[in-house]
Chain A
Amino acid sequence: MSEITGAQALFQALEAVGVEHIFGIPGGAILPAYDPLIDSKIKHILCRHEQGAAHAADGYAQASGKVGVCMATSGPGATNLITGLASSHMDSIPVVAITGQVNRAGIGFDAFQESDITGIATPVTKHTFLIMDPDEIAQTIAEAFHIAGTGRPGPVLVDIPKDVLQSKINYKPAQRVDLPGYQPVTKPNKRQIAEAARLMSQATKPVLYVGGGIIKAGASQQLVELAELTGIPVVTTLMARGVIPDDHDLCLGMPGMHGGYAPVTALQKADLLIGIGPRFDDRVTGKLSHFAPDAKVIHADIDPAEIGKNRKADVPIVGDAKAVIEALIPAVKESNHKHGTPDYSAWRSTVSEWRSNFPYKYTQKPDGPLKPQYVIERLAQITDGNAIYAAGVGQHQMWGSQFIPFKRPRTWINSGGSGAMGFGTPAAMGAKVAMPDDEVWCIDGDGCFQMTCQELATMAVEKLPVKIAIINNAYLGMVRQWQELFYNERYSEVEFGWDIPDYVKLAEAYGCIGLRVESPGEVDSAIEKARGVTDRPVVIDFRCDPREMCYPMVAAGSSNDDIILGPEYESDNVQHEQGDHLYSQDEEDDL
């Protein structure tokens, strides 16, 4: 057997696990890996910042379901990945990060560009490896991809010292991965499934509360089947948008801090929550002790540690979401056969009424300032909800989730749990690399865009026709909103201004097309123009009303009962069911 280098072994191992794309930037310690890359089938996308590479790998994984891969050098290269890895960790996105490390003999001696990246990354990854023996490269890569992509997915970092990459070894392909301490349970317990079916048959106001676990398990179809079989309304968390089409009769949309009145209130008034793959995150529950006070809880998750972490589960089910639903469907049928089919029609008509009475609202005056919701709604309508949409973090993200009529899973790419500003642009790039035939839009904020806009260069060079709609409200809009509501309109360090940078010139400087839209009448034509560009990115600077706020809103630390509908409902004198909290400023701060 002929000898090869550790770096060559790395690429053989990466090819063996099916890697097609790597987002990365070379540097000193990872240099040996960049040589065999030239001869590899794997396509490398040369990013402009490691954070961009990490977010791109995340967007790639969210859009395709494959494991995203990013690569960086030691020290600052590796630490720049951390924001992206942390985001993937919070959202359970399968990513493998490969980092160069200083020579084995240099580790621990503060060598140039040394950082203890496995130590730094451990709290924000599913697992980390440091390969000290070149003979372990193939096996470790196989294990890293196995861990990243199975069970509850997540990011795994593999750190490889430079001299390990340079060593000569006899390559042996990886053996079957067998990790004694990692045996995810995917099949649900039958008794718990039967108990869940029993609770469902007794409920009168049940809600299917579904999270990102549905997407990871590829269980959208099964979920729709379960919903239709039972007639139970569905709320889809930010990370689960699209698992059931938004225009489905049973889909109530997004719950949470900026969720719709119907999904928020349906959870709140429910007598049974059937949670499949959600985390009972604080952005959904509001004040936990006041969340869904009358509901019994069925909580299914592949990660047992999620069950009962925030809310006690009456029926805990450990398992893969698809396996859980596939077990629930016959159990429900059997229970219906024995005890009769429960009638939820009264509950369904109540929630439908909420849905039709309290839609997301805004007013776009023909000659008034451009409303961000109008831009996003038009974008959604023109693309007919058929594109892949990535978002940054903030108001524009929430409006995107509110106004885009999602039709299928893996089309709403977010940094949900971590809330990493700057996620959108590189994530959209990753999504486009994964799904080249899909139209990919990034709905970004002006604050977010400036954090990672260097990836425009990457996309221009790679001829990736991603479209970026900057909802430019000249402010860190969500921070401004909080200062307006909770800090007596004392605006502190939130104004970015419309003009700096000049986004059109910036786009052009990066070899992209830049467009500016300042009035409602220009919106459609700019979107159409962008859609027609196929050889480079387009950036549209939508100059929007800085004063627009995102509603509904449940203030942090407040009960979901105290949902604020906003000024659009103030003028109508609408009395909604739970009182009159249009503006409630007395809630404790709990960012």
Chain B
Amino acid sequence: MRHTMSVLVENKPGVLARVSGLFARRGFNIHSLAVGVTETPKISRMTIVVDLAERPLEHVTKQLYKLINVLKVIELDPESSVERELMLVKVRAQDKVRSRIIELVDVFRAKIVDVGSESLTVEISGDPNKLRAFEDLVAEYGIIELVKTGRVALSRGPKSIKDRTLKVAG
């Protein structure tokens, strides 16, 4: 079972290692992890997509709350949140296929960010399904290399993560 978690942490050295180390030693499988500073510079926000076979998500959130630098943990329900990923993909683009790739880029509302004599680099963002669809389509021309940011997500509506119920710490 895959869950998207949003985790507010203090923006201090080593916090990412504490979080990823916790996942590793407790056997929680990270599917993707994205982290960056928030509107408050002392606070960073992680979006962690976790794969859990048997254990309930509650085990993960309770363990996360035991980390002194973790301030808030919520699960983002895909139905009521916006999820995005950014991908950069360098596609083989000989003259004869170049226009077809550009067409795909237009259809997907992606962007060409680098043009080479034999390649095009495309920037595309969206939900993970859209990225996968684009990746499959350009694969037939040859993907030279590709990079993804991992998922980031926010809940829909006016509320913030900070409005959710307060944490319970151990």
CB-nearest residue of chain B to A151: B170
Q: Which of B16-32 contact A (CB under 8 A)?
A: 17-18, 21, 25
Residues on the B chain within 8 Å of A566, using CB: none
A145 CB to nearest B CB, Å = 13
Whether the pair B170, A303 counts as a contact (CB closer than 8 A) is: yes
Whether the pair A122, B69 counts as a contact (CB closer than 8 A) is: no
Whether the pair A305, B66 counts as a contact (CB closer than 8 A) is: yes
A483 in the interface (beta carbon within 8 A): no
- Bound-state Cα–Cα, A123 to B18, Å: 8
- Bound-state Cα–Cα, A181 to B43, Å: 11
A508 CB to nearest B CB, Å = 45
- Bound-state Cα–Cα, A185 to B69, Å: 17
Stretch at the interface among B57-65, B78-86, B87-95, B140-148: B57-65
Whether the pair B169, A182 counts as a contact (CB closer than 8 A) is: yes
Asked if A181 meets B58 with Cβ closer than 8 Å, knowing A122-B21, A305-B66, the reply is no
Whether the pair B69, A181 counts as a contact (CB closer than 8 A) is: yes
Whether the pair B71, A181 counts as a contact (CB closer than 8 A) is: yes
Q: Which of A109-136 contact B (CB under 8 A)?
A: 118-119, 122-123, 126-127, 130
A309 in the interface (beta carbon within 8 A): yes
Residues on the A chain within 8 Å of B21, using CB: 122-123
B43 CB to nearest A CB, Å = 9
Whether the pair A302, B170 counts as a contact (CB closer than 8 A) is: yes
Whether the pair B169, A185 counts as a contact (CB closer than 8 A) is: yes
Whether the pair A181, B10 counts as a contact (CB closer than 8 A) is: yes
CB-nearest residue of chain B to A143: B68
Asked if A182 meets B14 with Cβ closer than 8 Å, knowing A123-B25, A305-B59, the reply is no
A183 in the interface (beta carbon within 8 A): yes
Whether the pair B170, A152 counts as a contact (CB closer than 8 A) is: yes
B167 in the interface (beta carbon within 8 A): yes
The number of inter-chain residue pairs (CB within 8 angstroms) is 57
B155 CB to nearest A CB, Å = 21
A304 in the interface (beta carbon within 8 A): yes
B74 in the interface (beta carbon within 8 A): no
Interface string of B7-18 (1 = CB under 8 A from A): 001100110011
Residues on the B chain within 8 Å of A318, using CB: 168
CB-nearest residue of chain B to A152: B170
Q: Which of B145-170 contact A (CB under 8 A)?
A: 167-170
- Bound-state Cα–Cα, A152 to B62, Å: 13
A417 in the interface (beta carbon within 8 A): no
A180 in the interface (beta carbon within 8 A): yes
Most buried by A among B13, B21, B25, B167: B167
A519 CB to nearest B CB, Å = 49
B124 in the interface (beta carbon within 8 A): no
Whether the pair A182, B25 counts as a contact (CB closer than 8 A) is: no
Asked if A304 meets B68 with Cβ closer than 8 Å, knowing A118-B14, A309-B59, the reply is no
A105 in the interface (beta carbon within 8 A): no
Count chain A residues whose beta carbon lies closer than 8 angstroms to a beta carbon of B: 25
Residues on the A chain within 8 Å of B10, using CB: 180-181
Most buried by A among B25, B68, B167, B170: B170
- Bound-state Cα–Cα, A302 to B69, Å: 19
A325 CB to nearest B CB, Å = 19
A419 in the interface (beta carbon within 8 A): no
Whether the pair B169, A151 counts as a contact (CB closer than 8 A) is: yes
Residues on the A chain within 8 Å of B69, using CB: 181
Residues on the A chain within 8 Å of B68, using CB: 126-127, 147, 179, 181-182
B76 in the interface (beta carbon within 8 A): no
Whether the pair B18, A184 counts as a contact (CB closer than 8 A) is: no
Most buried by A among B25, B66, B168: B66
Q: Which of B28-84 contact A (CB under 8 A)?
A: 58-59, 62-63, 65-71
A308 in the interface (beta carbon within 8 A): yes
Interface string of A304-319 (1 = CB under 8 A from B): 1110110000000010
Which listed residue, A119, A181, A309, touches B169 by the CB 8 Å rule? A181
B52 CB to nearest A CB, Å = 14
Which listed residue, B14, B58, B169, touches A308 by the CB 8 Å rule? B58
Asked if A305 meets B63 with Cβ closer than 8 Å, knowing A183-B167, A184-B170, the reply is yes
Whether the pair A305, B170 counts as a contact (CB closer than 8 A) is: yes
- Bound-state Cα–Cα, A303 to B58, Å: 13
Residues on the A chain within 8 Å of B71, using CB: 180-181
Whether the pair A304, B168 counts as a contact (CB closer than 8 A) is: yes
A382 CB to nearest B CB, Å = 42
Residues on the A chain within 8 Å of B13, using CB: 130
Residues on the B chain within 8 Å of A127, using CB: 68
Residues on the B chain within 8 Å of A185, using CB: 168-169
Whether the pair A303, B66 counts as a contact (CB closer than 8 A) is: yes
CB-nearest residue of chain A to B67: A181
- Bound-state Cα–Cα, A182 to B59, Å: 18
Residues on the A chain within 8 Å of B70, using CB: 181
Whether the pair B170, A304 counts as a contact (CB closer than 8 A) is: yes
- Bound-state Cα–Cα, A303 to B170, Å: 4
| 4 further contact pairs, Cβ within 8 A, besides A151-B169, A151-B170, A180-B71 | A123-B25, A130-B13, A181-B10, A182-B169
Can you list 7 A-B pairs, Cβ within 8 angstroms, ordered by A?
Answer: A119-B17, A123-B21, A126-B66, A184-B169, A185-B168, A303-B170, A304-B168
Report the 6 A-B pairs with minimum CB-CB distance, sorted nearest first.
A303-B170, A305-B62, A127-B68, A181-B71, A182-B68, A183-B169
